Amino acid sequence: MRAPDLKTPLPGPKARAIIERDRKYTSPSYTRAYPFVMARGEGAVVEDVDGNRFLDCAAGIAVSTTGYAHPEVVQAIVEQAGRFLHMSATDFYYETEVRLAEEMASIAPFEGEARSFFGNSGAEAVEASIKLARYATGRQYLIAFFGAFHGRTIGAMSLTASKVVQRRSFSPVMPGVVHSPYAYCYRCPMNLKVASCKAECAGHIEEELFLHLVAPDEVAAIIVEPIQGEGGYIVPPAKFMERLHEITKKHSILLVADEVQSGMGRTGRMFAIEHFGVEPDVVVTAKGVASGMPLGVATSRADLMQWVPGSHGSTFGGNPVSCAAALATIKLLKETLMANAVSVGGHLMAGLQEMAARHPIIGDVRGKGLMIGVELVRDRETKERATEERDALVEEAFRRGLITLGAGHSSIRIAPPLVMSRAEADIVLTILDECFTAVTGKRR
């Protein structure tokens, strides 16, 4: 499938009809960026119901790791579905889940033995990590970060601090959560310079939170995205993660890495935290782990996951078909896709950085592998957020045959399937270049 290949005005007639039906019967809480109605996909190309083809730089919110309908993943799904679709792992056993638990232990970003709990989504995996942290430590408080997104269930939402709309009207949230500044270096919360800072934003935990809000011996875990996703694809410096690690070890606090969006090869390593030389106690995965099948995993050091039968469970978690898809996905990541994320991601980063020299609306380009954020500003000196321009750019890209999504308040994310080729990446860069020109031209 080659893309872009646009055959009708957007949306086409079939897409418009489906959207009208959706508006009548589906929850309006979903945030639809623009009127794309999926029909099928192959690799990094998606086709809508009217036959229009697009290059995809969203991957279903960083989910479709191996592209759409990868033959090895499909084969694994079909073979497992032909045997049985479900047998709750809360009550019984099946080898597919055991094999995946063994695989998760082998790739976990920490030394020693590991155990995994299986759920259906990232939010469920985060909920499992919350319960596990409290159970294992006997402590009640949790520390999360401004800009974080951990999910929309009440517990996960209590950790989330990305956008007000995600929390508004749902209080009271789960008690016992305290937020601290994240290392958003482009907009440093401590008003410091990257070259001379000592990760004071991480130091804020000991120097402020532990003095004024919560005693360290009451904190069960610090939960952090090694690279913030919904917050804007923000990459912290290594010293931030290192200092968090030091704090957790000093005070016997668990370090939980939320790798729901950044994990499973997206940054060129299996887990983003591996870029920082820091080992967490718990790692949370979902999204790309099963190439689109619903699965969430909380993997911890084996000595932590000692809760008793009945203390946590899930009827559908670790579904055998999802486990089969995950095993096939991990195999492909190891064989070729992590390396491709490094190669193609580096190519995209270089192209975007060159583009920034020609488009003043680009304030910052950041990322690792195929997890790239581009922040738009109205003025590079004041860094005024170009939120409306960002939204216009996402819409303009769609009209030109490129699927993208926003992140944070004024950034776009480049998170294609990890099968994207360099030739496709060049098309992405060409379209984005045209979009930046079009959007800044309209602004004038």
Spell out the domain ranges in the chain: 13-69+336-443, 87-318
Segment holding 257, helix H or strand E: strand 254-258
Could you count the other beta carbons within 10 Å of the beta carbon of residue 71?
10
Domain spanning 13-69+336-443: CATH superfamily: Aspartate Aminotransferase, domain 1 (3.90.1150.10)
pLDDT at 444: 53
Query: SS3 letters for 418-436?
Result: CCCCHHHHHHHHHHHHHHH
Tell me, what amino acid is at 143?
A: I
Sign of the torsion formed by the C-alpha atoms of 33, 39, 43 and 45: negative
Residues 208 and 188: their CA atoms lie apart, in Å, by 17
CA separation, residue 177 to residues 143, 222, 232, 379 (Å) = 6, 10, 22, 35
pLDDT at 1: 83
Q: What is the CA radius of gyration of the chain?
A: 22
Retrieve residue 57's tokens. Answer: 């730089």
pLDDT at 443: 60
Could you count the other beta carbons within 10 Å of the beta carbon of residue 52?
23
Tell me if 384 sits within 8 A of 392, measured CB to CB.
no
**Among 130, 108, 59, 81, CA closest to 323:** 81
Name residue, tokens 């279903």: 60
Residues 413 and 232: their CA atoms lie apart, in Å, by 8
**Among 85, 42, 37, 20, CA closest to 421:** 42
Give the pTM: 0.96
pLDDT at 179: 98
The four Cα atoms 150, 338, 65, 130 give a dihedral, to 10 degrees, of -20
Tell whether domain 87-318 is in CATH 3.40.720.10: no
Strand order across the beta sheet in which 53-56 lies: 38-42, 45-48, 53-56, 402-403
Residues 441 and 285: their CA atoms lie apart, in Å, by 41
The pLDDT profile of the chain, 444 residues, written as one tens digit per residue, is 899 999 999 999 999 999 999 999 999 999 998 999 999 999 999 999 999 999 999 999 999 999 999 999 999 999 999 999 999 999 999 999 999 999 999 999 999 999 999 999 999 999 999 999 999 999 999 999 999 999 999 999 999 999 889 898 889 999 999 999 999 999 999 999 888 899 999 999 999 999 999 999 999 999 999 999 999 999 999 999 999 999 999 999 999 999 999 999 999 999 999 999 999 999 999 999 999 999 999 999 999 999 999 999 999 999 999 999 999 999 999 999 999 999 999 999 999 999 999 999 999 999 999 999 999 999 999 999 999 999 999 999 999 999 999 999 999 999 999 999 999 999 999 999 999 999 998 765
